[in-house]
Amino acid sequence: MRRTLYYGVSQSTLISTPTVKIYKRGADRIKSGHVWVYRSDVLNADGIPPGALVKVADERGKFLASAFYSTASQIAVRVLSREPVSDLQTLLRQRIADAIAYRERVVSHTDAYRVIFSEADFLPGLIVDRYNDLLSFQVLTQAMDSKVVRDTFLAELTTRLTPAAIAERVDPRIRELEQLSPGSSGLVAGQKSSTTFTMNGIRLNYDALAGQKTGAFLDQRENYSAAAQYARGKALDVFCYHGGFALHLAPHCNSVTGVDSSRPALEVADQNAALNQREVEWIEANAFDLLRDYAAQGPQYDVVVLDPPAFAKSRRELDSALRGYKELNLRALKLLRPGGILVTCSCSYHVSPAAFLEVVADSARDVHRNLRLLENRGQAKDHPILLNVPETAYLKCLIFLVS
User: Is residue 219 within the footprint of ligand SAH (CB under 6 A)?
Assistant: no
Looking at beta carbons only, is 143 or 247 nearer to ligand SAH? 247
Residue 316 CA: distances (Å) to CA of 102, 181, 290, 307, 396:
35, 29, 27, 21, 20
Q: How far is the CB of 394 from ligand SAH (least distance, A)?
A: 13
Out of 240, 253, 347, 397, pick the active-site residue. 347
Which residues are 173's β-sheet partners?
Answer: none
For ligand SAH, which residue of 41, 178, 260, 302 counts as binding (CB under 6 A)?
A: 260
Provide the angle, in degrees to the nearest 10, between the axes of the packed helices 353-366 and 318-335: 50
DSSP letter at 110 equals B
Measure the CA–CA gap between 224 and 226, rounded to whole angstroms.
Answer: 5
User: Is residue 396 within the footprint of ligand SAH (CB under 6 A)?
Assistant: no
Contact window for ligand SAH (CB under 6 A) among 178-186, 197-205, 304-312, 356-364: 304-312
For ligand SAH, which residue of 240, 335, 351, 364 counts as binding (CB under 6 A)?
A: 240
For ligand SAH, which residue of 244, 324, 340, 384 counts as binding (CB under 6 A)?
A: 244
User: Is residue 394 within the footprint of ligand SAH (CB under 6 A)?
Assistant: no
Looking at beta carbons only, is 165 or 395 nearer to ligand SAH? 395
Measure the CA–CA gap between 144 and 47, rounded to whole angstroms.
Answer: 19
Q: How far is the CB of 103 from ligand SAH (least distance, A)?
A: 20
Q: How far is the CB of 233 from ligand SAH (least distance, A)?
A: 20
Looking at beta carbons only, is 308 or 340 nearer to ligand SAH? 308
Long-range contacts of 204-208 (CB under 8 A, 24+ apart): 204/112, 204/242, 204/244, 204/247, 204/272, 204/275, 205/242, 205/268, 205/271, 205/272, 205/275, 206/112, 206/131, 206/132, 206/134, 207/268, 208/131, 208/134, 208/136, 208/165, 208/167, 208/169
User: Is residue 217 within the footprint of ligand SAH (CB under 6 A)?
Assistant: yes
Does the active-site annotation cover 397? no
Looking at beta carbons only, is 36 or 241 nearer to ligand SAH? 241
Q: How far is the CB of 213 from ligand SAH (least distance, A)?
A: 8
For ligand SAH, which residue of 273, 307, 322, 329 counts as binding (CB under 6 A)?
A: 307
User: Is residue 286 within the footprint of ligand SAH (CB under 6 A)?
Assistant: yes
Measure the CA–CA gap between 324 and 308, rounded to whole angstroms.
Answer: 10
Contact (Cβ atoms closer than 8 angstroms) between residue 168 and residue 138: yes
3-class secondary structure, 214? coil
Residues in the site for ligand SAH, rule: CB under 6 A? Answer: 216-217, 220, 239-242, 244-245, 260-262, 265, 286-288, 307-309
Q: Which residues are known catalytic residues?
A: 347
